[in-house]
């Protein structure tokens, strides 16, 4: 066991044929790809039979690059501290799919009226299963806000469930940006920006404006790749409806990453507040 993840250590273990499965958050895969591009070290390994991710949204651009870099399909999974797992795929998935509900886990997609939506429609994910919590420790108020009838937990995530049972995450209810009266889910904008060949990572946050919220995107370029906000704006212009297009795009050398490997959007909002 090692104290913490480093790209060099994992790349070495892959080269030595000591790894058959890699499961990591999306930004860990991004760091591995950056390390490979910088050093020329291959991430492909004969014993490696599966790679998978969870813990944060997976943008299509990173998915494609990861599968090319490791040479195997990338699976995606979905769960949360309160209930895990909810859904997962053992093999590759498309776009924002996170797999099928796990054995013993029930999923409902619920609209604002508290009723189940039709297949393919969007709503909040309610889930229950053997891996769920009994409640928040010494916090009955928070427990009451999260628990739903018949033992379901309200996840706060917006998703759709198709006829085949495939779950597709749209965004996080708490992160939704209200722009010009429309709901903008950051993951949708991040996915489009992430498909640009020069983008290593993208993160979208809302910025309060008079009677509105602006869509602001932070973009980390690939090492050695020159990008400009105007180039990215033109990319978004062709691929996003007007209300989803970022009003501002900021280039950032390195995304702020927390101890779990997730992008710290709180820090990005602080950068907006302090003018950084």
pLDDT attached to residue 275: 65
Q: How far apart are CA 157 and CA 127, in angstroms?
A: 11
Read off the pLDDT of residues 168-197 as tens digits, 9 standing for 90 and up: 999 989 999 999 999 999 999 999 999 999
What are the structure tokens assigned to 151, written together?
A: 């033992």
Task: Give the sheet arrangement for strand 199-209, strand by strand.
Answer: 199-209, 212-221, 248-251
* Pick from 222, 189, 207, 188: nearest CA to 35: 222
Read off the pLDDT of residues 261-272 as tens digits, 9 standing for 90 and up: 889 999 999 998
* 46-75 average pLDDT score: 93
Q: Would you call 21 helix, strand, or coil by DSSP? A: strand
DSSP bridge pairs for 169: 159
Read off the pLDDT of residues 128-154 as tens digits, 9 standing for 90 and up: 999 999 999 999 999 999 999 999 999
DSSP code for 118:
P
Given pLDDT bands bounded at 50, 70 and 90, which one contains residue 37?
very high
Q: What is the pTM of this model?
A: 0.84
DSSP bridge pairs for 182: 179
* 89-93 average pLDDT score: 77
pLDDT attached to residue 52: 94
């Amino acid at each position: 066991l090692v104290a913490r993840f480093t790209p060099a250590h994992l790349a070495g273990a892959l080269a030595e044929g000591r790894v058959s499965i890699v499961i990591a958050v999306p930004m860990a895969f991004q760091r591995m790809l950056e390390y490979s591009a910088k050093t020329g070290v291959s991430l492909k390994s004969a014993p490696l039979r599966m790679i998978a991710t969870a813990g944060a949204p997976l943008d299509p651009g990173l998915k494609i690059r990861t599968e090319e870099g490791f040479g195997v399909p990338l699976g995606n999974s979905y769960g949360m501290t309160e209930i895990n797992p909810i859904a997962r795929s053992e093999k590759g998935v498309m776009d924002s799919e996170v797999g099928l509900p796990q054995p013993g886990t029930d999923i409902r997609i619920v609209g604002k009226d508290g009723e189940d939506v039709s297949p393919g429609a969007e709503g909040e994910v309610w889930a229950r299963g053997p891996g769920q919590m009994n409640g928040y420790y010494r916090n009955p108020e928070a427990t009451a806000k999260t628990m739903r009838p018949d033992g379901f937990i309200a996840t706060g995530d917006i998703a759709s469930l198709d006829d085949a049972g495939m779950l597709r995450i749209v965004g996080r209810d708490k992160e939704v940006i209200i722009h010009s009266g429309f709901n903008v889910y950051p993951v949708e904008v991040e996915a489009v920006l992430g498909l640009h060949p020069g983008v290593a990572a993208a993160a979208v946050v809302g910025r309060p404006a008079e009677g509105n919220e602006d869509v602001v995107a932070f973009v980390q370029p690939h090492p050695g790749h020159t990008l400009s906000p105007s180039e990215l704006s033109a990319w978004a212009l062709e691929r996003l409806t007007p209300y989803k297009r970022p009003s501002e795009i900021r280039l950032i050398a390195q995304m702020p990453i927390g101890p779990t490997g997730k992008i710290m959007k709180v820090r990005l909002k602080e950068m907006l507040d302090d003018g950084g």
